Amino acid sequence: MNYINESHDSNEYYFIVHPEFSSKFPEISNKAKISSNIIWTEVNKSELRKTLLDSLFKRSFTNYELLNKYATRYKVDHVILLYFNTFQLSLICKRTKYSIDGILFRQFYRMKKSNIKKKRLF
């Protein structure tokens, strides 16, 4: 929010957030209210509940549908996902009119993998 408020660019920024985000992080949501080019939307609780049900595979598509609903509503050119993990399965199959970037959290990515060949038997 600080960067957007200080940059004074002409872009519009849409934040689609958890229904309780504003109450849990008022300092962030208050900063969003300062800027005229920040549009702040809280997902309603029933929409959120749908994204938490079922298997990981189904959740990925449910999350994608929610993402696409808001991206289409606001006619965005680019989406930045702060948690890409839940979208990666659906985005293998789906194509969008907008570009997507995101943060993929792979906490075990750099861990060394061991196998039987590397183990020594004494």
pLDDT band of 120, cuts 50, 70, 90 = low
pTM of this prediction?
A: 0.76
pLDDT at 60: 92
Per-residue pLDDT of 42-87, as tens digits, reads 999 999 988 888 888 899 999 999 999 999 999 999 999 988 888 8
15-19 long-range contacts, CB within 8 A, separation 24+: 15/39, 15/40, 15/41, 16/41, 16/43, 16/67, 16/70, 17/41, 17/42, 17/43, 18/42, 18/43, 18/48, 19/43, 19/44, 19/45, 19/48
Alpha-carbon separation of residue 115 from 103, 110, 119, 122 (angstroms): 30, 16, 7, 16
Query: Residue 93's closest CA among 45, 60, 55, 44?
Result: 60
Question: Which of the pair, 30 or 106, is modelled with greater confidence?
Answer: 30
pLDDT at 69: 96
Strands 38-42 and 13-17: parallel
Question: Which of the pair, 111 or 38, is modelled with greater confidence?
Answer: 38
pLDDT at 104 over 90: no
pLDDT at 65: 94
Q: H or E element: which one contains 78?
A: strand 78-81
